[in-house]
Amino acid sequence: MEEVESLCANREGELRRRLDNATIATSQAVLERTRLANEKIRLQCELRRKENSTH
């Protein structure tokens, strides 16, 4: 019985680590998406400023 509990505890720990890694990866992807969206907005604003200054 103790062996089964130990195996279950080890498996739970492994699953928690995998979940943590997936959570971190998701957070990093969201952060990168936000960074890219901000860069896109910045470039669009810069382009509009250049277009307006030529008119």
- Tens digits of per-residue pLDDT, 16-42? 999 999 999 999 999 999 999 999 999
Q: Residue 38: what residue type?
A: N
The predicted model gives 2-25 an average pLDDT of 98
Question: pTM value?
Answer: 0.72
Report the C-alpha gap between 55 and 52 in whole angstroms. 5
Q: Where are the alpha helices (DSSP H) in 1-55?
A: 2-53
Identify the sign of the CA torsion 17, 18, 23, 27.
positive
User: What's the structural domain count of the chain?
Assistant: 1
pLDDT of residue 54: 80
pLDDT of residue 15: 99
Q: How far is CA 33 from CA 3, 20, 21, 47, 52, in A?
A: 45, 20, 18, 21, 28
Arithmetic mean of pLDDT over the chain: 97
CB count in 10 Å sphere of residue 51: 9
Range of the domain at 21: 1-55
